[in-house]
Amino acid sequence: MTIQAGGLADVVSGAVAAHRGEPGPLLAILHDVQRELGYLPREATALLAQELNLSRADVHGVVTFYKDFRDTPPARRTVRICRAEACQARGARDLVAHAEQRLGVPVGAAAPDGSVELGQVFCFGNCALGPTVEVDGRLHGRVDAARFDELVAD
Ligand code: FES
């Protein structure tokens, strides 16, 4: 994804304006910017630091501390599998092994061509319906190997 400089500045300014006056707005603004751009490019965090009168190191520290933020573009498809206890008890470990084999990437990595990335999460809050898998931002419960293959087939 190529982001035009003006577009990026507009996204950052819009997010800052949307949270103006709120106490400690940095996290909310970062979420907004990431939702718009797909990730938090270095240029965006630099602009944000300037707008909020923070240091770049402060903003970068927050981005790298929270696992939900990313500073690199996402793959075209993202798959995340829950590996917390309830899902593990329902087969998540085997499902991770199947996913790695099916997608050809280890968990925590992206395919070199940027087509897909496979991540892990420790609870989506969908525990009763595990194993839980998120594909391109959409949650799916009771996913077995066959269902997984359907979900990533497109
Ligand atoms: S343990 Fe998997 S969604 Fe909660």
Decide whether any atom of ligand 1 lies within 6 Å of the 62 Cβ.
no
pTM: 0.75
Decide whether any atom of ligand 1 lies within 6 Å of the 86 Cβ.
yes
With the C-alpha atoms ordered 80, 28, 70, 62, is the resulting torsion angle positive or negative?
Answer: negative
Question: What gap in Å lies between CA 121 and CA 78, rounded to an integer?
Answer: 12
Q: What separation in Å is there between the alpha carbon of 98 and the centre of ligand 1? A: 18
- Is the separation of the CB atoms in 47 and 37 below 8 Å? no
> pLDDT for 52-79, tens place per residue?
999 999 999 999 999 889 988 889 999 9
Q: Confidence class of residue 7 from pLDDT cuts 50, 70 and 90?
A: confident
Decide whether any atom of ligand 1 lies within 6 Å of the 3 Cβ.
no
Decide whether any atom of ligand 1 lies within 6 Å of the 121 Cβ.
no
